[in-house]
């Protein structure tokens, strides 16, 4: 069974700091990796995806992938209170179109 593990948190960081969110996965055949942001009571919103080893940057967000270690992370630079949400990691591939989600990490950015 494919597993995606995330620390549930909460991760608390001060405004302006870098928030680092981590995710590990069990299926070595995984090919695609996603980060979703979910505000309380709302549905998940796709913010980043990464397919290749290394870093991918989009604005204040950087996704980092290390397939050898089966590890993907999300860095949020210059964190803002509006970034306070749960961040879900999802992993797909290996012949299936069905992503597996982690439980999410709660991020709190305090002023």
Would you say 110 and 14 are in contact if contact means Cβ atoms under 8 Å apart?
yes
- Determine, following the binding rule CB under 8 A, whether residue 45 of this chain makes contact with other proteins: yes
Q: Point out which residues pair with 71 in neighbouring strands.
A: 24, 66
| Site membership for other proteins, residue 35 (CB under 8 A) | no
Residue 22 binds other proteins, judged by CB under 8 A: no
Q: What is the DSSP code string of 72-88?
A: EEEEESS--GGG-EEEE
64 vs 100, beta carbon nearer other proteins:
100
Which parts of this chain interact with other proteins (CB under 8 A)? 4, 8, 31-32, 34, 36, 42-46, 49, 88, 90, 92-93, 97-104
């Amino acid at each position: 069974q494919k597993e995606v593990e995330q620390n549930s948190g909460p991760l608390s960081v001060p405004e302006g700091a870098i928030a680092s969110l981590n995710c590990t996965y069990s299926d070595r055949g995984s090919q695609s990796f996603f980060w979703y942001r979910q505000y309380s009571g709302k549905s998940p919103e796709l913010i980043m995806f990464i397919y290749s080893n290394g870093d991918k940057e989009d604005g204040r967000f950087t996704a980092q992938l290390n397939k050898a270690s089966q590890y993907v992370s999300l860095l949020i630079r210059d964190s803002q209170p509006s970034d306070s949400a749960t961040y879900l990691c999802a992993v797909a591939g290996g012949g299936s179109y069905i992503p597996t989600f982690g439980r999410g990490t709660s991020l709190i950015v305090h002023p």
